[in-house]
Structure 1
Amino acid sequence: MAGVFTALRLRRNNSSFSSSSSPSSLIHSSPNAYASSGVLFLLTLLSLSLAAFAFFLQWRGGLPDLRCPGPVLSSSEPQGILGRSRKLSFPYYRDWKIKFGSSDLLPKICITTSTSAGLDQTLPWIFYHKVMGITTFFMFVEGKAASPHVSNVLESIPGVTVIYRTKELEEQQANSRIWNETWIRDLLYKPCNYELFVKQTLNMEMAIVMAREAGMDWIFHLDTDELVHPAGSGPFSVQQLLSILPAEVDTIVFSNYESSVERDDIKEPFSEVSLFKKNRDHIEVEAYSKHYQETCHGTSTFFLTYANGKSAARIQDHLRPNGAHRWQNYMKSLTEVKFDEAVVLHYTYSKFSDLTSRHARCGCKPTKEDVKRCFFLEFDRDAFIIASTATEEEMRYWYNEHVVWKDEETKHKLLKGGIFTRIYSPMVIIKHLRESGVFSSVIAEAWANKNNNASRHGGFWETYSRKFGRLFGSHLTSGK
């Protein structure tokens, strides 16, 4: 509009200048002035008419919502924190098109996980990693994740295979070679975290078979509170990161960064947490020593939980898990390298409920001695005792003292010192996935189709049972 008004001002000034020159020039310019005024009047009338017509159609419901087209869920259907039902649209990335589950991505990457989490955690986790170029997910589910409300949705997502913890699964895993391995012997037949660790290892062993059958090139093991952050790749893609590795590299380690929450009322960690504590591998030695006590935040360790990162392995003969964080091979030593920038973001104890629900996850006694046989890590032991013995008010005080970072001066100092870092990309990606209605649309479609189709993975054991039988049958002898 500024350009229009400028043109009008120039026209008006020129007319004034000409009229003061001579009467003859004034008489000569009058027809052009009338013609210009008529054209402007007609253009203005046309614009107003079109605007009125558009308003009428919009009021009658004749125009679609061009900002974000797609169906909207009725109020009786589930939405919650997973957002509105809209088709995929990224208003700040107009030309960014995502191929979810595209088969032409190379290398082909999969993730295996063992989870009991609900849709509020698993859907953002799956689709974030799809954006990162990971197409296939082998999800071993139990608890809430195995409930029909959750599992029906998970099974409806292309590239997701859901495996339930059934009696048949346990019978197959009872024949695994892993039970005779010396490297895991000290963890066997123990409760709580030890039991989970062994279960994850057995699931990883099965996932290797499934990944090979699916034609995968690489496999990750991640929990559903962890996101791969492919910093250092131009396209911000896990697929791009792995594609540049030399062929002789068998496994790649991603250092982990740990979430540092700034409030005690976080509901959606992936969308609300941007502050992370760096891994020691990425901190200068002098800075680490200088800020160590302050960074421990009243605990006995630098990180609340694990600090040895996670890794991805190239699918190959004789590949096996080496616990939940690493991979190994029965027949050779693997060539392992580590990324300098790409990391795994671990959102640990990021919600207050992660503390309050801790006591329900284990049957151990809440004593200093008994928790040692149930948990690897000191902080997990302390958290279990607090969750089992304290009031909610006491738990919240303890949570704020040891987990939440509220002091701005301290945060600024640790950011400046290279201990903390801000990472926003997962927040941005998941925010746009949610606002575009990806999560709620998946739920709506799964509900609409649940009565029309049998489970896509109903034939799981028919497909894999023989393969697992051959695998485990050949592993009954003692290993290295």
Structure 2
Amino acid sequence: MAGVFTALRPRRKKSSFSSPSSSLSSSFFQSSPNTYASSGVLFLLTLLSLSLAAFAFTLQRRSGLPDLRCPGGRVLSSPDPEGILGRSRKLSFPYFRDWKIKFGSSDLLPKICITTSTSAGLEQTLPWIFYHKVIGITTFFMFVEGKAASPHVSKVLESIPGVTVIYRTKELEEEQAKSRIWNESWMGPLLYKPCNYELFVKQTLNMEMAIVMAREAGMDWIFHLDTDELIHPAGSGAFSVQQLLSSVPAEVDTVVFSNYESIVERDDIKDPFSEVSLFKKNRDHIADEAYYKHYHEACPGTTSYFFLTYVNGKSAARIQDHLRPNGAHRWSNYIKPLTEVQFHEAVVLHYTYSKFSDLTSRHARCGCKPTKEDVKRCFFLEFDRDAFIIASTATEEEMRYWYNKHVVWKDEETNHKLLKAGIFTRIYSPMVIIEHLRESGVFSSVIAEAWAKKNNASRHGGFWGTYSRKFGSHLMTSGKFINQGELKTRRKVAPESAPMEHADF
């Protein structure tokens, strides 16, 4: 049992590892007499040469071997979502031809769900859903708006087993208006503000509802993830989130997954999940000596940290009585403190600003004025503020220049240096899994089957008829009802004394 919990560790605890091969070779040469050292080296070199020759001969005999430096051996460049999701003309991963795709089975334990609030299209949501199915997520509660709520997208999402689609309707807003969250001091500083603050409040209200839905579905654990984030269950032999969470002691309530941030190496990325393999490690996973030695090289164009966006990770919570969201990154409980641990290897991969269009479309997401002062009331983070101003005031050429200067890492020498220092890391697993899903025709088949079926049910599918009473009783367990009229007349500025439980979002 000693090895079961080695993936868990207290927050900020550091571990160091030494190379077994280096220590082995060192002890060999130190213990061998000088008379035998040279002959031993000659024997090893001869053996190595023969091995390389045999390996080269094998490669010549095989065809279609992928470039190991970049799994897939090709770059997706089609801006058309069907081109990104559709079947490729050739298999890029011959080693995976016999791989059987096993999506999360409902009879496996623990049962894990993800809730998300999204406006993304199928080119992003389908790879996101099926990747997480492969690693053991069985259930998805998707609160959709914008493009994600359009008929041609929502029809497909609704057809996927395990996916529940919730639309932002008047009924939803009426239910959420009854939530006790509106009266909680920990949410006070976020209320009645536009843009990112408004989104953060919506996410929190949606998470609260997802907890109720998760309990009704018999879930054991719940994540809140955005559709530009992938769980990377490193540290589990089966590459399984279920295996990771099954090893967590019963007394633990939440588990933190540190986040790694994507690094784009060119400015024409179309499909981040399939084209991005370089990531900045979280500060929790970088040795202090390496971090401070390479700080200025790793932080160009930023003021204090080399992550563009959030740094505090995401967490999974065990479903339990009185569970509540604590912002979009953490969970809490109304009546007791939660016991929290952190995984040492498993992380959340955040693909942020990984496409140039993520910058150019930024100005359309908010009605704030593109000034230094006004953006402070719209965005939490300084980089988001700067990006909004550039997207709102610059030409496309100027935006391209800014994007390459602040987001793109083109200097291969610097990238290699930071990789060697342990500041950056290469992660290929999501690329391989998603590419194999694409090669197997999973995405194109889901789309085709969804449109082939007759849509007999309404878009809302009687959802509120099933859940509204349960939500109503859960959301007003304390405090008073708040109706839509009261929402418009309540104080517009939150009390300055309201505490903030997490400053970095």
Normalised TM-score (structure 1): 0.81
Does 1:476 pair with 2:479? yes
CA offsets, 1:280-316, max 9 Å, x none?
Answer: 0000111111111221121223210000000000000
Q: For residue 85 of structure 1, report the CA deviation from its aligned partner.
A: 9.0
CA offsets, 1:129-171, max 9 Å, x none?
Answer: 0001001000000000000010000000000000000011001
Q: For residue 209 of structure 1, report the CA deviation from its aligned partner.
A: 0.1
Moved more, 112-121 or 284-293: 284-293
Distance 1:165 1:408, change over 3 A: same
2:396 maps to a residue whose letter is E
- Matched with 1:268 is 271
Distance 1:211 1:335, change over 3 A: same
- Matched with 2:388 is 384
Cα distance in 2, alignment partners of residues 218 and 185 from structure 1: 27
Q: Secondary structure at the match of 1:344?
A: strand
Q: For residue 220 of structure 1, report the CA deviation from its aligned partner.
A: 0.1
Residue 416 of structure 2, aligned match among 384, 405, 412: 412
Residue 187 of structure 2, aligned match among 184, 192, 205: 184
Q: How many aligned positions are there? A: 402
Cα distance in 2, alignment partners of residues 400 and 98 from structure 1: 38
2:394 maps to a residue whose letter is A
Q: Which runs of 4+ in 1 moved over 3 A?
A: 88-91, 93-96, 477-480
Residue 433 of structure 1, aligned match among 434, 437, 443: 437
Cα distance in 2, alignment partners of residues 473 and 413 from structure 1: 54
Q: Is the 8 A contact 2:82 2:123 kept in 1?
A: no
Does 1:79 pair with 2:82? yes
Q: For residue 473 of structure 1, report the CA deviation from its aligned partner.
A: 3.0
2:140 maps to a residue whose letter is F
Does 1:128 pair with 2:131? yes
CA offsets, 1:439-475, max 9 Å, x none?
Answer: 00000000101x2532586011111011011112323
Moved more, 384-393 or 283-292: 283-292
Q: Is the 8 A contact 2:262 2:276 kept in 1?
A: yes
Does 1:119 pair with 2:88? no
Q: For residue 188 of structure 1, report the CA deviation from its aligned partner.
A: 0.5
Q: For residue 219 of structure 1, report the CA deviation from its aligned partner.
A: 0.1
Residue 421 of structure 1, aligned match among 422, 425, 442: 425
- Matched with 1:309 is 313
Moved more, 328-337 or 88-97: 88-97
- Structure 2 residues not aligned, in runs of 5+: 1-79, 482-497, 500-505
- Matched with 1:459 is 462
Q: Secondary structure at the match of 1:353?
A: helix
- Equivalences for residues 117-266 of structure 1 within 5 A: 117-266=120-269
Q: Secondary structure at the match of 1:161?
A: strand
CA offsets, 1:82-138, max 9 Å, x none?
Answer: 01299x998533554333352111100000000000000000000000001001000
1:410 maps to a residue whose letter is T
Q: Is the 8 A contact 2:96 2:436 kept in 1?
A: no
CA offsets, 1:348-407, max 9 Å, x none?
Answer: 000000000000000000000000000000000000000000000000000000100000
2:221 maps to a residue whose letter is W
Q: Is the 8 A contact 2:175 2:472 kept in 1?
A: yes
Q: Secondary structure at the match of 1:92?
A: helix
Q: For residue 218 of structure 1, report the CA deviation from its aligned partner.
A: 0.2
Q: Secondary structure at the match of 1:311?
A: strand
Q: Is the 8 A contact 1:276 1:420 kept in 2?
A: yes
2:177 maps to a residue whose letter is A
1:123 maps to a residue whose letter is L
1:316 maps to a residue whose letter is Q
1:441 maps to a residue whose letter is S
Identity of aligned residues (%): 87
CA offsets, 1:20-70, max 9 Å, x none?
Answer: xxxxxxxxxxxxxxxxxxxxxxxxxxxxxxxxxxxxxxxxxxxxxxxxxxx
Q: Is the 8 A contact 2:81 2:123 kept in 1?
A: no
Q: Is the 8 A contact 1:161 1:457 kept in 2?
A: no
Moved more, 263-272 or 290-299: 290-299
Residue 366 of structure 2, aligned match among 358, 362, 371: 362
Answer with 1 or 2: which has the greater Rg.
1
Cα distance in 2, alignment partners of residues 118 and 380 from structure 1: 22
CA offsets, 1:179-235, max 9 Å, x none?
Answer: 111111101100000000010000000000000000000000000000000000000
Q: Secondary structure at the match of 2:175?
A: helix
- Matched with 1:41 is none
2:266 maps to a residue whose letter is R
Moved more, 261-270 or 77-86: 77-86
1:330 maps to a residue whose letter is Y
Cα distance in 1, alignment partners of residues 214 and 455 from structure 2: 29
Q: Is the 8 A contact 1:320 1:327 kept in 2?
A: yes
- Equivalences for residues 33-72 of structure 1 within 5 A: none
2:432 maps to a residue whose letter is V
Distance 1:101 1:419, change over 3 A: closer
Residue 285 of structure 1, aligned match among 264, 282, 288: 288
Cα distance in 1, alignment partners of residues 452 and 178 from structure 2: 40
2:415 maps to a residue whose letter is K
Q: Is the 8 A contact 1:155 1:457 kept in 2?
A: no
- Matched with 1:332 is 336
Cα distance in 2, alignment partners of residues 265 and 280 from structure 1: 28
Cα distance in 1, alignment partners of residues 96 and 271 from structure 2: 23
Q: Secondary structure at the match of 2:294?
A: helix
Cα distance in 2, alignment partners of residues 78 and 310 from structure 1: 28
Q: Is the 8 A contact 2:254 2:315 kept in 1?
A: yes
Q: For residue 256 of structure 1, report the CA deviation from its aligned partner.
A: 0.1
Moved more, 290-299 or 241-250: 290-299
Q: Is the 8 A contact 2:269 2:356 kept in 1?
A: yes
Cα distance in 1, alignment partners of residues 448 and 403 from structure 2: 36
